[in-house]
A and B are shown apart, each in its own frame.
Chain A
Amino acid sequence: MTTEPTPVITLEKLCTNPNFIANNLPIKFGITDFVGETEKYRPKRGFYVQKDQTINAIALEDLPIYHEFHLQPTSANYIHCMQIHQNPKQPNQFNMLIGAMSWCCDGAILGGTYSLDDDSFDVKFATRVPFNTYAIVGELTFPDPEHNSILGHVFASGSGCHGAGIQYFTTNPSYNKQEFIYDLHKLNSNLDKNQRIAKHKPSDQCFLYGPGVIVENNTLMAGGLNIEEAFKISQEYYEHRDLLETEQLETEQKQDQKSPHTYALEDIEETLAKIRLAASQSSFITRNLHEVYP
């Protein structure tokens, strides 16, 4: 089955308003550091969903992320950032990407779907990242009754004593893949390429004091780094494109045929197009580091 490629959209600004409408009711999402009715002052980190006057919350500690996904409890001590994507076809469903941090060396990224129908959160993935996650952006497929599978592509960036930079995480029914697409501590191998990603020499502080994911010149950025370029360069997009152009030129000259290779250029472009589309339809929440959230 062939599917239409995702259209490439122009990004101007990301939405930071956590308010939505579902079934004519106002819905609001937010970070909370205190979950639990009886022990309301006991810190328990999570997020809340306010449906009109009713507020419900999901605590990270209550998610099956430690046994099922082998996440260390400390890696997800605090939620720092969230991307909330309302299903355009099912407004009661919200895909959520969560960037968490230990506030020490490492962090975690989590993804899943919140359903207003039964006020539940279906966690789809959770994985440790070697930094405190200060920005997250990506896309997850919405639940489909006919296809019980999930596809997701996530970029997370941050810094910590175990690493700093941008990681790319992808998940599908057969495998998960996680890699640094920009490792701040292993830089300078190719300055020309790095200039595509960062205009100025980046530092750990760029992530810490950055505003999370933003759009600059129609590109997704975090901590002053061009996420999309980092992804393209890590996947050798430009090398493949040059090879393809050379091959196409040669084959056209020789046999008047197209090159048989595609070098996954379309996959890379499609992944970015999906993330950009999801980002344009999402709302982004970032913790103010100086605050605790009720």
Chain B
Amino acid sequence: MKVLAQPHTPAFQTPEQFLASYAKILLGKEYETYQELKSTITPQEINLYESTKKKLNELKSEIFQFTLKVTRGSATPDDYITQQERDTTLKSLSLDEKVAAFFTLKDKIDGPCSNGSHVRKSYITEYNPKDRKIILYYGENVPNTFKNVANILRADGGIVKVWNYEDIGTDEHFDDRIYSGVEICNRDQAPHTWKLLRHAKEHDGFTLFFLDSTPLVQHCREDEELKTAQELKAKGKKIMIITNQYGGLGRFL
């Protein structure tokens, strides 16, 4: 039962390409340094660095125990001899600065990139920002997870302009409109989300909301804004709500 393969065009960049692009936006020149270090450091150097670091941590812990003994007056002459040996060993150990710099940068990249990757996963199956003219409005008290939505979209090829949320609806020369904030309802905190909903109703472009999950399942549940968003979705409009539910990320709509 043979099936012929069909020509395939990758729909968007690979996760690896996205991560590289995102890290470059976040770190700028530091990312180039990271790449350079990554390509020059050998596995042996990394192994040596990790084993030295482990040894240093062990020694520090032992020294701390020795200090406690001294403070309590329970240190024996043997303990002092062992401590001298420790001091000698400690002086002989040093961490490779190049590898240390690599790990510092790696730590700087890993956290945000992991978050960026999760945010991306929540929209990319239905929304590809590549070459889209996007206007992004940040609301007040944006959840940490969604603070970098602009750069995440940029890393995916979006042409993003960030505007104050009070300016929502004043310019029509954009393909898609995105809101990143706490909630869709409650006009005191999100007084302009109606304008985005109207955009979703009247235009073909995408309208995305990146929101905190609690209001969606609590006080916004019965509000008109959310009901309107659900109605628009049911009518086939390109509207999505992404939340940080259960500490992770997911699609609410």
Interface of A toward B, CB cutoff 8 Å: 32-37, 40-41, 43, 48-49, 54-59, 62-64, 68, 114, 118-123, 288, 290-294
A294–B4 alpha-carbon span in the complex (Å): 20
Given contacts A40-B11, A122-B1, 4 further A-B contacts (CB under 8 A): A40-B9, A58-B5, A62-B3, A114-B5
A48–B7 alpha-carbon span in the complex (Å): 9
B124 proximal to A (CB < 8 A) = yes
| Nearest CB of chain B from residue A141's CB, rounded to whole Å | 17
| Nearest CB of chain B from residue A12's CB, rounded to whole Å | 17
Are A57 and B1 interface neighbours, CB within 8 A? no
Closest 3 CB pairs of A and B: A56-B5, A57-B8, A34-B11
Q: Is the interface of A mostly helix, strand, loop or mixed?
A: loop
| Nearest CB of chain A from residue B8's CB, rounded to whole Å | 4
Are B2 and A294 interface neighbours, CB within 8 A? no
Q: Do A294 and B13 contact each other (CB < 8 Å), given the known contacts A33-B125, A41-B126, A41-B128?
A: yes
Which residue in chain B gives the minimum CB-CB distance to A33? B125
Are A294 and B14 interface neighbours, CB within 8 A? yes
Can you list 27 A-B contacts with CB-CB less than 8 angstroms, sorted by A residue number? A32-B10, A33-B125, A34-B10, A35-B6, A37-B9, A40-B9, A55-B8, A56-B5, A56-B6, A56-B7, A58-B5, A58-B6, A59-B6, A118-B4, A119-B4, A120-B3, A121-B5, A123-B1, A123-B3, A288-B15, A290-B114, A290-B118, A290-B121, A291-B117, A292-B15, A293-B14, A294-B12
Interface of B toward A, CB cutoff 8 Å: 1-15, 114, 117-118, 121, 124-126, 128
A118–B13 alpha-carbon span in the complex (Å): 27
**Cβ–Cβ < 8 Å partners of B118 in chain A:** 290
Which residue among B10, B117, B124, B125 has the maximum number of chain A CB atoms within 10 Å of its CB?
B10
**Cβ–Cβ < 8 Å partners of B9 in chain A:** 37, 40, 55
Are B8 and A291 interface neighbours, CB within 8 A? no
**Cβ–Cβ < 8 Å partners of A118 in chain B:** 2, 4
**Cβ–Cβ < 8 Å partners of A43 in chain B:** 125-126
**Cβ–Cβ < 8 Å partners of B8 in chain A:** 32, 35, 37, 48, 55-57
Q: Which residue of B3, B4, B121, B124 is within 8 Å of A64 (Cβ)?
A: B3
Q: Which residue of A55, A58, A63 is within 8 Å of B10 (Cβ)?
A: A55
A62–B226 alpha-carbon span in the complex (Å): 37
A94–B25 alpha-carbon span in the complex (Å): 40
Are B3 and A121 interface neighbours, CB within 8 A? yes
A254–B1 alpha-carbon span in the complex (Å): 56
A260–B46 alpha-carbon span in the complex (Å): 59
| Nearest CB of chain B from residue A120's CB, rounded to whole Å | 5
A64–B1 alpha-carbon span in the complex (Å): 7
Q: Do A55 and B7 contact each other (CB < 8 Å), given the known contacts A33-B125, A120-B2, A292-B125?
A: yes
Are B11 and A37 interface neighbours, CB within 8 A? no
**Cβ–Cβ < 8 Å partners of B4 in chain A:** 118-120
**Cβ–Cβ < 8 Å partners of A123 in chain B:** 1, 3
Are B1 and A37 interface neighbours, CB within 8 A? no
